[in-house]
A and B are shown apart, each in its own frame.
Chain A
Amino acid sequence: MDPLALGGLVALFTVVVLFSGVPVAVGLLIVATGFLYVFDGPRSLQALPELFYGDLNSFALLSIPMFIIMGAAISSTRAGPDLYEALERWLTRVPGGLLVSNLGACALFAAMSGSSPATCAAIGKMGIPEMRKRGYPDEVAAGSIAAGGTLGILIPPSVTMIVYGIATETSIGRLFLAGVLPGILLVSLFIAWAIFDTWRRGAAGVALSGVTYSWREKFEILPRVIPFIVIIAGVLYALYGGIATPSETAAVGALLCIVVAVVVYKMVQPAALWTVLRDSTRESVMILFIIGAAGVFSFMLSSLFVTQSIAAWIADLDVNRWVLMGVINVFLLVAGFFLPPVAVILMSAPILLPIITAAGFDPYWFAVIVTINMEIGLITPPVGLNLYVINGIAPDISLKKILVGSMPFVLCMVLAIIILSAFPSIVTWLPDYLMGPEL
C-alpha cells in the first residue's frame, strides 16, 4: 500500500478510536498496534513494550514530573493568593485592576510552574471568587483565569517545551529562553484587552469598587512575595551558575518549592503533602503514559514509511512558506481542540519539523508558535485541561460562559502568532543574545 494512502488510513482510524472516548494514550497504542500487526506482521508486536520503555528511558523526561511537582507544591499554599493580592494593592487605580492583577499573577506564577493546569489552579482558587464578589461577570472571571493559566506552558519552565525539545532534539535551555519574550508579549496583550474591555463596558466602577490601599498597605504585602523571588532566583542560579544541567534544575526547583511550602507556608500536615504528591503524580503519569504510547505510535508511522512520505510529499508541493505555515497552524489548532498538548506535539513534531526547517523556519520560533496553538487548545472543548480546573473551582459557571469569556483571549493568542510571524526576532533574540548563535 502507498505510504501516503496508509497515512490517510491511520489518520482516519486515529480519529475514530480517539472519539470513542478511550484514554488518548490507549488510543494511540491501539492504532499503532493494529497497523503494525496488519502491515508489518506479528513480529513487531514483540517490540511493543521495548518501544514504550525506550521512550520513557530518558533523563530529560525527569524534568516533566519535577516541574509539575514544583507547580503543585507552590499552588497548594497561600503563595498564589499572596502574589495576586500584592499586585492588586498596587493596581487598584488601573481600570480592571483586579483582572490585570490576576493576569499578572498568572504570568509570574507561570515562571515557576511547568504546567498550565497548575498555574490556573494556583491563581484561580482565589482569583475567580474574588472577581465574582467584586462584580465582574462570570464570563470575565472564568475566561481570564482559563486563558491566563495557559501562560504556564509558554513562560519557562514549560513541560510542553521539554517534550518539543525531546521530540525534535532541540536544546531545552534555548527553548525556555525563546518563550520569555513571547510570554511577556502575550500577557501584555491580555492585559491591554482587559483594560480596554473594562473601559468599553463602562465598568470602571466595578473595577475600582471603592477599595483603596494606603502606601503602608502597599509595602506591607511586599515581603510576602519574597518566596517567589527566592524560588525563581534559586532555579536561575542552579541553571546558569554551573550547578546543574537543565534536566537536573527541575529537581532543584521541585525541592525548593516543597521546602518553601513547608518552611514558609507551614505546610506540614501529611495530608497536605500527600495532596501535592498525588496531584503531581496524576498529571505526570498521565503525560508520561502518553509519551510512551506516542513513541510506539511514531514508531509505527516511521516503520510504515508514512512520516517520511508525508514530509517528502509536502516538500514537493512547493507552496508558499506562509501558506504552509497557515495550514500547519490550522492543523495544530484543530488537533489542540481534541488532544492535550503533549500528544499533539509528540504525534506531529517528527513529521512537521523536517518540513518546517526545509521551508526556512527556525525550529525555536516554531516551538513558540506550536506552544501558543496548544495554549488555545487548553481552553477549548472537548479536551481542555484548564476547563476542568475552572470547573473544579467554580462548578456553577457553565462551560459556555467560560468559552465566551476566554474567546477574546484566544483572539489575543491568534494576534500574538501573527505578530511573531511578522517579527520572528521577538523569539530568537533572547536565546541568541544569551547563548550565542544557534548550533
Chain B
Amino acid sequence: MSYSASAPRTLPLAIRLILGISTLCGIVASLMMFAAVLITCHMIFVRNVLNQSTVWQTEVVIYLMIAATLIGLSYVQKLRGHVGVDLLPTLLPQRMRRGLGIATLVVTAVMIAVMLYYGYDMWHFAWQRGWKSETVLAAPLWIPYLAIPVGFALFLLQLLADLWLSVTAFPMDAKGLPAIGLEMSEDY
C-alpha cells in the first residue's frame, strides 16, 4: 500500500474540510468508546464498593457504543478500514480498477443515502412522538436515534469526497480508491 503524503495540500477547501470532519468524527468516536470503558468500570465500582443501585450505566453505555459506531463510520472510511473483498480490484489493470472503484463508491453512497433517508424518518418519528426508553432513566429516544442520520450523513459526505478524488484522477491505492489513508499506522 502506498500513499501520497503531499497531495492533500493541493486539495480544494471543501474536500479538506470533509477530511478534517471525518478525523474529528474519529476522535469523537474514540472518546465515546473510552467513556464506555470508564462508565462500565464506574458501574462495577458503585455496585461492589458503594453497594448502590446501578440503573442508568448499562443503557448509557449501549447508546455510547451505537453512537461511536455510527459517528466512526466516516473516519474508518477515510482510513480505508472497512474490510472488503479486494481480489477483483487488485487483478484489474489501472484504468478499469479506477472505474470499478468509482462504481463501488457510487453504489455505496446510494446505499448509505437510503439508510440516511429512512434513518432520518426513524429519528423524526421518535422525536415527534416524544418516545422514551422504557427504563427508570426514561431517556428521550431521539437522542440515541440522532446518531443514525448524523452518522450516515457524515459517512455519505466522506464517500462523496472519495468520489470527487477518484473522478479527478487523484493517486489510487491497490483497491482502486483514492490513496488518502495518510493516518494508516505502520503496523496495519
Contacts and interface: CB of A to CB of B under 8 A. Distances in A.
Q: Do chains A and B touch in the complex (CB under 8 A)?
A: yes
Interface of A: 18-27, 29-30, 33, 45-46, 48-50, 52-53, 56-59, 61-62, 65-66, 69, 117, 121, 125, 238, 243-244, 248, 251-252, 254-255, 258, 274-275, 277-286, 288-290, 292, 338-340, 381-383, 385, 388-389, 391-393
Interface stretch (B5-13, B59-67, B164-172): B59-67
Select the residue from B69, B90, B175 with max chain A CB neighbours within 10 A. B69
A338 B88 CA distance: 12
B84 interface: yes
Contacts of B112: 26
Given A22-B108, A66-B37, A275-B185, A52 B65 contact: no
Interface string B44-81: 10001000000000100110011011001101110101
A284 B83 contact: no
Given A20-B103, A24-B84, A252-B44, 4 more contacts: A21-B100, A251-B37, A277-B30, A278-B26
Contacts of A286: 76, 81-83
**Nearest 3 A-B pairs (CB), nearest first?**
A251-B40, A23-B82, A382-B87
Interface in B18-32: 26-27, 29-31
Nearest to A58: B62
A26 B107 CA distance: 9
Contacts of A24: 82-85
A25 B33 contact: no
B104 interface: yes
Nearest to A117: B188
Contact of B65 (A29, A61, A382): A61
Contact of A392 (B85, B90, B188): B188
Given A20-B100, A22-B104, A389-B187, A254 B37 contact: yes
Interface of B: 1, 26-27, 29-31, 33-34, 36-38, 40-41, 43-44, 48, 58, 61-62, 65-66, 68-69, 72-73, 75-77, 79, 81-90, 100-101, 103-104, 107-108, 111-112, 114-115, 118-119, 121-122, 145, 148, 175-176, 183, 185-188
Contacts of B69: 56, 284-285, 288-289, 292
A282 B107 contact: no
Contact of B115 (A22, A48, A339): A48
Nearest to A340: B83
Contacts of B175: 21
Interface of A, helix, strand, loop or mixed by DSSP: helix
Contacts of A279: 185, 188
A274 B185 CA distance: 11
Contacts, number: 194
B85 A49 contact: no
Contacts of B145: 53
Contact of A18 (B36, B43, B85, B89): B85
A275 B186 CA distance: 11
A278 B104 contact: no
B76 A282 contact: yes
B166 to A, nearest CB: 13
B92 to A, nearest CB: 9
Contacts of B188: 117, 121, 279, 282, 388-389, 392
Contacts of B100: 20-21
A244 B44 contact: yes
Nearest to B66: A56
Contacts of B65: 56, 61-62, 65, 288
Contacts of B66: 53, 56-57
A21 B86 contact: yes
Given A21-B101, A281-B75, A282-B79, A59 B58 contact: yes
Contact of A274 (B30, B62, B73, B176): B30
Contacts of B72: 281-282, 284-285
Contacts of B121: 46, 49
Contact of B37 (A69, A275, A290, A393): A69
Nearest to A238: B44
B40 to A, nearest CB: 3
Nearest to A251: B40
Contacts of A30: 107, 111
B108 A62 contact: no
Contacts of A46: 118, 121
Contacts of A121: 187-188
B37 A23 contact: no
Contacts of A117: 188
10 contacts: A21-B88, A45-B118, A277-B33, A277-B34, A279-B188, A281-B26, A282-B188, A292-B69, A338-B87, A382-B86
A338 B108 CA distance: 19
Select the residue from A21, A27, A393 with max chain B CB neighbours within 10 A. A21
